[in-house]
Amino acid sequence: GAVVSQHPSRVICKSGTSVKIECRSLDFQATTMFWYRQFPKQSLMLMATSNEGSKATYEQGVEKDKFLINHASLTLSTLTVTSAHPEDSSFYICSASRGRGASPLHFGNGTRLTVT
């Protein structure tokens, strides 16, 4: 069964509003979670690394004030897209790993965001 749960799976919002996406590790504690964005027919793009109890680490070119990440517990990380615009429409996927070495990344089912 799924080990990482992501909610919502789909969201449509109006331009200018904010959207929160939740990512939960179901049966393990994840000190680190990863947020990806994927545009149609393109590969995964790492947006940020979410660290429990500390600030997220953002990849170059990703606006930290626009994509707010909160990792308040060992099983929950949230991504808030603030003041969304149509160009933010994309597939957002979170992932987490049970450990560092051989442990694979487990992905949530993704969130399809459409900004109108």
Partner 1 sequence: GQNIDQPTEMTATEGAIVQINCTYQTSGFNGLFWYQQHAGEAPTFLSYNVLDGLEEKGRFSSFLSRSKGYSYLLLKELQMKDSASYLCGAKDSNYQLIWGAGTKLIIKP
- Which parts of this chain interact with partner 1 (CB under 8 A)? 6, 34, 42-44, 46, 49, 91, 93, 100-102, 104-110, 112
CB of 36 to partner 1, least distance (A): 9
Q: Tell me if 18 sits within 8 A of 82, measured CB to CB.
A: yes
CB of 13 to partner 1, least distance (A): 19
Token code pair at residue 79: 């991504």
CB of 82 to partner 1, least distance (A): 24
Unique residue bearing structure tokens 């080990």: 3
Whose Cβ is closer to partner 1: residue 74's or residue 82's?
74
Nearest to 35 by CA among 85, 84, 90, 86: 90
